[in-house]
Amino acid sequence: MAEVKKSKTYHFHSEWEEDYFFVYSNSKSICLICNASVALPKKGNLERHFKTVYKSYDTNFPAKSPLRARKVQELKSQLATQQSVFTRPNSKTSSRVLAKRKKPFMDGEIVKEAFLEAADVLFADFKNRKEIVSAIQDMQLSRNSVTRRCEGMAEDVEQQLRNDIDACECFSLQFDKSTDVVDVAQLCVFIRMVFDGLNVKEELLTILPLKGHTRGTDIFQVFMEFVNKSQLPLFKLVSITTDGAPSMVGRTAGFIGLCKQCESFPDFLNYHCIIHQQGLCGKILNMKDVMDVANKIACSVRARSLQRRLFREQLEETGAEHTDLLLHTDVRRSTLFQVGRALALASRFSEAYSGRPWSAPAPVCSSGPFSMDSSLAHPEGRGGAEGVLRALGGGLGLGWGGQLAGRVQGLGRHGPHKVIVALHHRALPPLDDLRVKE
C-alpha cells in the first residue's frame, strides 16, 4: 500500500509585504491593493497575482525604495481601518458572554438564531421592526468570528497585565500545584503587585502544565521558561508563597532552594501557604472549651431535619447574615472559622452563651488569622506577625493584643510563620492566662 504524503505547511514571510503588496491577516494572505485573498501563502501564488494584475506597480514604486515602503504602510493603515468598521461592538459583547459562560464558540450562531426568533414576537408592533431584524442579521457570530473576538480580548487582558507589571514598584508570587481531570499537574501562578500610594492589585499570572514529573527541578525549569518568554522582571520580586509541598520548599532540590541558588532571583522572603499556617495555629492554640460547646450547639440543631428547617426559617425571617450552621471539619478550612457563625447568631443561643467563662476569648476564633474569608482573598496576609497578634487580641477590645505584639517585637518583617514558631516554643502565655477575669 502506497504511503500517504504529509501535507506541506506554508508560512507567510514578512518581506512579501513590500515585494508583492500582501499581508497575512486572520489566517489569510490578503492583497493590500484589491483586498483579494489567496488560498495558500505560497510565494508563487502571491507573485502570480501581483505581476498579472498590477504590472505597473514595479515601475511606479521601485522595489526596495522608500516610496514603495511608504505606499505599503499607507495601504496597511487603510486595510486596518476597513476591518475595524466591520468589527461591531455587539459582536464583541456577545462573544464576551460566551467566553464568560465557557460555551463553545459555535454557540454564537445559536444565539443569533434565538435573537431572530424572539425579534419576530418582541418587535412585531414596532415601526422600525425591519431595521431591528436587519441589525440582528448583521451580527457577526459565526464560529470563526467569535474565535477572533475572544483571541483579541485575551491579548488585551494579557497586555494590561504586562503593563501593570512594568508599572508596579514590586510584586510577590504565589504558587499552587493541583491536578486536572486528565491527571496533568497544573501549576497556577498568582501575582500581587504594589503600586505608588500602596495600591495593591492581584491577578492570575499564568497556568503552567507539568506533563512529566513534578519535582522541584521540573517546576523550576518550567517556571524559568515562562520567565524568559514573558520577560518577567524578577528584580521586583520580594516574596514567594507556596503550598508547602516538599518539592516546593526543599532547601536543596526544592523549588524555593533552586530559586535562592539562581543568580536571576534577588533576595526574597518565602512562606508556606497562609491557609496551612492557620491550620497550625488552630492546632497549637487551646480552644477546646470554646469548640466543644460550639460543636454541641451546631450538632443539636442539625441532628434533626425538622429542627434545622425551623432554625433556617427563623434566621431568614430575622434577616441574619448566615442562614445555617456548618458541622465540624478538620480539613484546610479551619473549623475555628465556623465559630464566627455561632457568635454572629449568639442572640439565638442566649441561654447557652450567657455566663460562660470563655465569652471574652471566643472572638479570637473568628478574627485574626482564623478569618478565612479575608485570608482567602489575601493569601499572603497583611501586617506581618504584629498585625496577626493584634488581630488575635482585638476581637472584643482585649487588652493583651499589644502585649503579645510587644513580646515578639522584631518579627514583623518575617511574616506570620514566626508567630507560629513563637507559639510552638511557648514564647507567648497560654490562652487561659489571657482571659478577661470578671
Give the per-residue pLDDT at 274.
62
Tell which of 239, 272, 305 closes a domain: 272
Phi, psi (deg, nearest 5) at residue 54: -125, 65
Q: Rounded to whole angstroms, how far apart are CA atoms 17 and 10?
A: 16
CATH code for the domain in which residue 252 is found: 3.30.420
Same domain, residue pair 67 and 129: no
At residue 345, the pLDDT reads 58
Pairing of strands 269-271, 237-241: parallel
In a shared domain, residues 80 and 222: no
Together in a domain, 248 and 371: no
pLDDT beneath 50, residues of the chain: 1, 85-86, 332-334, 351-353, 357-438
Q: Are residues 285 and 428 in the same domain?
A: yes
Last residue of one domain, picked from the residues 86, 110, 137: 86
pLDDT score of 132:
83
> Are 369 and 278 in contact, with CB atoms under 8 Å apart?
yes
Residue 49 falls inside a structural domain: yes
What are 208's strand-pairing partners? 187
Same domain, 201 and 344: no
The Cα–Cα gap between 93 and 134 comes to 18
Asked if residue 381 and residue 309 are part of one domain, the reply reads yes
Are residues 412 and 288 part of one domain?
yes
Q: Which amino acid is at 206?
A: T
User: How many domains, in total, are found in the chain?
Assistant: 4
Contact status, residue 153 vs residue 99, Cβ threshold 8 Å: yes
CA 146 from centroid of its chain's CA atoms: 23
Residue 10: inside a domain: no
pTM beyond 0.85: no
Is the residue at 159 inside a domain? no
* Cα-based distances in Å from 20 to 35, 48, 79: 13, 9, 16
Q: CA 32 from chain center: how many Å?
A: 40
Task: Answer yes or no: do 351 and 225 share one domain.
Answer: no
According to DSSP, the β-strands at 22-25 and 28-31 are antiparallel
Is 244 domain-assigned? yes
In a domain, 8, yes or no: no
Q: Please indicate, yes or no, if residue 241 is contained in any of the structural domains.
A: yes
Residues 322 and 386 in one domain: yes
Residues 337 and 245 in one domain: no
Quote the pLDDT of residue 348: 52
Does residue 285 sit in the same domain as residue 426? yes
Provide the edge-to-edge strand list for the sheet that holds 200-210.
200-210, 185-194, 170-179, 237-241, 269-271
The pLDDT assigned to 268 comes to: 92
Residue 160 inside a domain? The answer is no
Q: Is residue 154 part of a domain?
A: no
Residue 362: in which H helix or E strand, if any?
none
Domain extent at residue 100: 89-147
Question: Do residues 426 and 281 both lie within one domain?
Answer: yes
User: How confident is the model over 377-423, as pLDDT tens digits?
Assistant: 344 444 444 444 444 444 333 444 444 444 444 444 444 444 433 33
| Separation between Cα atoms, residue 172 and residue 271, nearest integer Å | 11
Domain limit, last residue, from 227, 248, 272: 272
